[in-house]
Amino acid sequence: MEKTINNWIPFLTLIRREIKRFMKVMIQTVVSPIVSSSLYLLIFGVSLGSQVNLPNGLPYITFLIPGLMVMGLINNSFQNSSSSIVTSKFSGDLEDIRVAPITNHQIIWAMGIGGIIRGTVVAFITGVVGMIFHYFMVGDFLPIKHPLLFAMFTVLCGLIFSFCGIFIAFIAKTFDQLSAFSTFILIPLTYLGGVFMTIQGLHPFWQKVCHLNPVFYLINGYRYSMVGVSDVDLTTTVVVCLLAAVVTYLMAMYSLVKGSFARW
Amino acid sequence: MKALEVKNLKKVYVDVKDASRSVHALRGVSFDINEGEIFGLLGPNGAGKTTLISTITTLEKPTSGELNVFGLDVVKNARTIKQNVGVVHQEVINTGYFNVTEILEFQSGYYGILNNGDRIQFLLDRLALKPHAHKKVKQLSGGMKRRLMIAKALVHSPKLLLLDEPTAGVDVELRESLWKFVAELQKSGMSILLTTHYLEEAENLCNRIAIINKGEVNYCGSPKEVIQKYSTKKIHIKLTNGDTKEILTSAAESLNNVLAQHKISLADIVDIQMTEGKLEEAFTKVVIAGREAHGAAQ
């Protein structure tokens, strides 16, 4: 009964499905980040930011924009994969994917790429809104200093949090467990990772604590690629990010093998 | 080659905290399905039918035993088997974001098929879903959702189709049209494993059946055989002297024997009517006998 199929087609179909899915909820993916980033920029960038003097000499809004962009990337890549799986658990779609000739690797990569794309769309929109604010406050648009590094950190960040989303969504048995991860782990790590502040002003003890946070390296790597400043050296950042990508990939794989495809 | 071979298949859901609470869903199930055959898997709720289907589709791993689809081991050749098997799940899948056509396009893609428009159009047409092709699942009635699930299972033209209670909650007219469609699929050479609670339909449609209960196969054979073995037929006789006699006898018993046993000669009979045994009765007896044997064994 030999019936061989092109392995790329199921993989590309899954990616297409992921993209189409988030495109159907445009208010979440496009409108919501415009509103939230405008508010952040208005309150932190314009109002409070004018009173902030950073040790690295950058205008606060220049420092803030990459932080907001990467925060959008982190949240949306995580939400894309986790909500895709959770809604599929409700609808029963996961059973279709499970009985189709699709490997676990294909599922993980397809969801990872879906997450990168959604996260990048949100980061891009946040960046565009940020540029407008930047132009009016600083007088020019914010250039990307290291485009290749920027692309690398965008991909790594999107993948890491998409993989996290897969892991949590498969392991979670209830909505509570899913939102607990977001509330107690993802948001604190992101906020304490340097979205709004540099750690240079912190007590040395808290600076050391910040170095234990993997999100800190991601945010600083992303910011370095855009504006050329970071609280940590680039090599360490790249190594930590690559390691985080491998670890989260393995976690996602574990969750697919051990987790439940059953309905909620 | 057999479409499906199940040999001494066991599936235990282990409770790691308390082994005594582990669930033995399948306890050494054995049967096979010939190519081009419609095989009915019948049993009460919780008998192990869905677990068996989940194991065939590789959703569940067997604890022990053998499970081959077209000669290939399910565990070792999961991907090849998945390409050749179509599944209609028991519970309706309510994909929220996409319309019927999009769902069937994605489903084709999952099985490595691009540009499957002709097949999709054929299925939409054949399953009367064409007017609803651009509706989302939530806009479909229960019957339409069932038909969509069947279309999904058939987009990749599988060689083995697994139907897990495909007509649950479906009205009579639709059930009849679905069974007609299933019979057509069989004629095209497809092998079909069917679970249903509608025993009359299984009796008419299936070449062979297995009655499963508490994870054990209590009977495997043709519906006719099980009816003859386990059910009774009713013989209503009107005699020349005006009397009527109603005789209940084994379905396998010949009329001559029955008449001889009751000392009725053909000359005494004005009219005779026979009601054949039904699968439902045979099914109940098999299940009860199986339950008693299971209880005795424990």
Q: Do B109 and A9 touch (CB under 8 A)?
A: yes
Percent of chain B whose predicted confidence (pLDDT) is above 70: 99
Tens digit of each residue's pLDDT (9 = 90 or more) over A16-46: 999 999 898 888 777 888 898 889 988 888 8
**pLDDT bucket at B246, cuts 50 / 70 / 90:** confident
Q: Do A1 and B84 touch (CB under 8 A)?
A: yes
Residue A199 is predicted with a pLDDT of 86
**pLDDT bucket at A4, cuts 50 / 70 / 90:** low
The minimum CA-CA distance between A209 and chain B, rounded to whole Å, is 38
Other Cβ atoms less than 10 A from the Cβ of A174: the count is: 9
End-to-end CA distance of chain A: 35
A89 belongs to a structural domain: yes
Looking at chain B, which residue has its C-alpha nearest residue A96? B107
Residue B92, helix vs strand vs coil: coil
d(CA B255, CA B197): 31
- Is B36 in contact with B207 (CB distance < 8 Å)? no
Looking at chain B, which residue has its C-alpha nearest residue A94? B93
A2 belongs to a structural domain: no
d(CA B187, CA B119): 18
Task: Judge residue A214's burial from the number of C-beta atoms within 10 Å of its C-beta, 0-12 exposed, 13-18 middle, 19 or more buried.
Answer: middle
Walk me through the domains of chain B, giving residue ranges and CATH numbers: 2-221 (3.40.50.300), 227-297 (no CATH)
Q: Do A95 and B89 touch (CB under 8 A)?
A: yes
| From B70, B85, B110, residue closest to A102, measured CB to CB | B110
Residues of chain B whose C-beta is under 8 A from some C-beta in A? 57-59, 70-72, 79-80, 82-85, 87, 89, 91-98, 102, 106-107, 109-114, 137, 152, 159
Q: Do A7 and B112 touch (CB under 8 A)?
A: yes
Q: Is the ipTM of this complex over 0.90?
A: no
Best of B33, B73, B97 to disrupt the A interface (most A CBs within 10 Å) is B97
Number of H helices, E strands in chain B: 10, 13
Domain residue limits at A187: 8-257
d(CA A211, CA A39): 29
**pLDDT bucket at B276, cuts 50 / 70 / 90:** confident
d(CA B192, CA A184): 50
- Helices marked H in chain B — which ranges? 49-56, 78-84, 100-110, 117-126, 142-154, 172-187, 199-205, 223-230, 255-261, 279-297
Residue B64 is predicted with a pLDDT of 94
* Residue A200 identity: Q
d(CA B297, CA B112): 48
Angle between helices A147-171 and A104-138 (to 10 degrees): 130
A50 belongs to a structural domain: yes
A1 belongs to a structural domain: no
Q: Do B159 and A2 touch (CB under 8 A)?
A: no
Tens digit of each residue's pLDDT (9 = 90 or more) over A71-116: 999 999 999 999 999 988 888 888 888 889 999 999 999 999 999 9
The total number of structural domains that make up chain A:
1
Please report which helix (H) or strand (E) contains residue B38, including its range: strand B38-42
Rounded to an integer, the average pLDDT of B254-264 is: 85
Residues in chain A: 264
- Is B242 in contact with B56 (CB distance < 8 Å)? no
A39 belongs to a structural domain: yes
pLDDT over threshold 60, residue A2: no
* Residue B121 identity: Q
Give A210's contacts (C-beta < 8 A, 6+ positions apart): A192, A193, A194, A199, A202, A216, A231
| From B80, B93, B106, residue closest to A91, measured CB to CB | B93
Q: Do A99 and B82 touch (CB under 8 A)?
A: yes
b/e sequence A188-211, b meaning 16+ C-beta within 10 Å: ebbebbbbbbbbeeeeeeeeeebe
Give B106's contacts (C-beta < 8 A, 6+ positions apart): A13, A16, A17, B98
A37 belongs to a structural domain: yes
CA dist B153 → B21, B67, B147 (Å): 35, 21, 10
- Is B39 in contact with B192 (CB distance < 8 Å)? yes
Best of B106, B140, B159 to disrupt the A interface (most A CBs within 10 Å) is B106
Angle between helices B279-297 and B223-230 (to 10 degrees): 70
* Residue A16 identity: R
Percent of chain A whose predicted confidence (pLDDT) is above 90: 57
A264 belongs to a structural domain: no
Looking at chain B, which residue has its C-alpha nearest residue A9? B112
Q: Do B111 and A5 touch (CB under 8 A)?
A: yes
Looking at chain A, which residue has its C-alpha nearest residue B115? A9
Best of A2, A6, A13 to disrupt the B interface (most B CBs within 10 Å) is A13
Write the secondary structure of chain A as one string of H (helix), E (strand) and C (coil). CCCCCCCHHHHHHHHHHHHHHHHCCHHHHHHHHHHHHHHHHHHHHHHHHHHCCCCCCCCHHHHHHHHHHHHHHHHHHHHHHHHHHHHHHHHCHHHHHHHCCCCHHHHHHHHHHHHHHHHHHHHHHHHHHHHHHHHHHHCCCCCCCCHHHHHHHHHHHHHHHHHHHHHHHHHCCCHHHHHHHHHHHHHHHHHCCCCCCCHHHCCHHHHHHHHCCHHHHHHHHHHHHHHCCCCCCHHHHHHHHHHHHHHHHHHHHHHHHHCCCCCC
**pLDDT bucket at A217, cuts 50 / 70 / 90:** very high
Structure tokens at A11: 């993989």
